[in-house]
């Protein structure tokens, strides 16, 4: 009998989400409306911020955050190289230059000293990536940055995570979250921007809706369009649908329970796999509530990360590298002339990281099976 495959990630959706979607369909209002507004309000309250702006993805949220900060041609934004490519791409969308910094391969987060060393008079912002749900110490970073350099939290993986009691998305000037299906909570696609700064919130809300000064509901249910204010800025269609907003409200209500379950499983992994000297396990520093979007380990020589992933795949267990090193991706090599050795920490992390399955639909038997496969591995049999 073939064992069932174990997926690297799987969304946790059910009857409540179906009921919420049905209500939206029956209402006849599908675009951004009351459900999105309810999701925004609940998300802002949960993450202790004044404003939350729903968008189509974390990528578009990063784009709007940069635009709202006035970043454009001639400006530089520092981005860690070990991250999903969207963190750097969003800078290019604005005509600005992404300056890649190295990371600490033990934590997979930006190397603070290397980040600060790359600051120039043209640096306008730093994107602090809370990778895999582990929080960057934004306050410590701020103390080393020149005044006027903004901090944008790429919190794609960090909904519900916190540091010293302060939630992700409340630590920097702007925070941006993802609701992709590999995240702890999902709306299929979708994202959320958070900020305490009213002027930034108003600007981002306007940019996401074609540059309009009024909402979709005001345009369609209020006075005739020719009687409404115009479109004073160039904007984009980055609106979330009410279908997604309705799902988001249901998912957000489960967020803390889902993270608690993942934290319990992550602790089990760390206890059970602690004897594998070749596998460097992620930790959870004191004062941090890890978001546990992924359980990403480091694979130490003489073991090879790709060979370990192949062995897991042969046993029906999905695994992945943590993410990629942006400076090794062909577009960035061709455009900026990066060499692999330019950012050795990111290069090492890309080649030696291993994401093990971690999601809320896994069973005790799934975790035991993964551990048993890892127990059997030796440098000779993979």
Who contacts 69 (Cβ-Cβ below 8 Å, separation ≥6)?
A: 124, 125, 150, 152, 173, 174, 200
Give the number of other CB atoms < 10 A from CB of residue 164: 12
Strand-pair partners of 295:
356
Residue identified by tokens 């890890």 is 290
Q: What is the DSSP letter of 171?
A: S
CA–CA dist 74, 169 (Å, integer): 27
Q: Parallel, antiparallel, or unpaired: how do β-strands 353-356 and 295-299 relate?
A: antiparallel
Collapsing DSSP to helix, strand or coil, 124 comes out as strand
DSSP states along 291-333: --S-EEEEEPTTS-HHHHHHHHHHTTB--B-S--BGGGSHHHH
Q: At what angle do helices 15-27 and 242-272 cross, to 10 degrees?
A: 170
Q: Clarify whether 144 is annotated catalytic.
A: no
Q: At what angle do helices 364-376 and 305-314 cross, to 10 degrees?
A: 130
Strand-pair partners of 149:
none
Choose the catalytic residue: 124, 130, 180, 183: 183
Q: At what angle do helices 58-68 and 86-93 cross, to 10 degrees?
A: 40
Q: Phi first, then psi: give them for residue 247, nearest 5 degrees.
A: -65, -40
Q: What is the DSSP letter of 27?
A: H
Active-site positions?
A: 183
């Amino acid at each position: 009998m073939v064992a069932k495959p174990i997926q690297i990630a799987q969304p946790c959706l059910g009857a409540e989400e179906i009921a919420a979607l049905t209500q939206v369909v029956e209402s006849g209002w599908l675009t951004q409306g009351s459900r999105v507004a309810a999701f925004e309000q609940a998300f802002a309250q949960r993450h202790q911020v004044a404003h939350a702006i729903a968008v189509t993805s974390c990528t578009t949220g990063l784009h709007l955050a940069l635009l709202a900060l006035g970043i454009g041609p001639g400006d530089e934004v520092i981005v860690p190289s070990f991250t999903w490519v969207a963190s750097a791409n969003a800078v290019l969308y604005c005509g600005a230059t992404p300056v890649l910094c190295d990371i600490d391969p033990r934590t997979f987060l930006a190397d603070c000293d290397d980040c600060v060393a790359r600051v120039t008079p043209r640096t306008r912002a730093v994107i602090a990536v809370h990778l895999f749900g582990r929080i960057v110490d934004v306050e410590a970073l701020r103390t080393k940055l020149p005044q006027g350099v903004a901090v944008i939290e790429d919190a794609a993986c960090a909904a519900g995570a916190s540091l010293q009691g302060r939630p992700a998305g409340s630590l920097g000037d702007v925070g941006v979250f993802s609701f992709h299906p590999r995240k702890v909570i999902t709306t299929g696609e979708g994202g959320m921007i958070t900020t305490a700064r009213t002027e930034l919130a108003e600007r981002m809300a306007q940019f996401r809706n074609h540059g309009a000064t009024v909402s979709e509901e005001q345009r369609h249910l209020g006075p005739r369009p020719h009687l409404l204010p115009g479109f004073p800025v160039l904007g984009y269609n980055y609106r979330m649908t009410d279908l997604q907003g309705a799902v988001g409200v249901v998912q957000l209500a489960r967020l803390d329970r889902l993270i608690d379950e993942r934290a319990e499983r992550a602790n089990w992994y760390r206890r059970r796999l602690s004897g594998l000297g070749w596998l460097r396990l992620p930790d959870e520093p004191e004062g941090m509530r890890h978001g546990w979007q992924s359980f990403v380990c480091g694979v130490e020589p003489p073991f090879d990360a790709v060979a370990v992933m192949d062995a897991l795949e042969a046993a029906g267990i999905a695994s992945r590298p943590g993410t990629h090193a942006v400076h090794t991706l062909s577009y960035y090599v061709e455009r900026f002339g990066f060499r692999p050795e330019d950012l050795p920490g990111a290069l090492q992390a890309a080649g030696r990281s291993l994401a093990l399955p971690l999601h809320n639909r896994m069973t005790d038997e799934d975790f035991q099976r993964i551990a048993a496969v890892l127990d059997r591995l030796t440098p000779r049999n993979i």
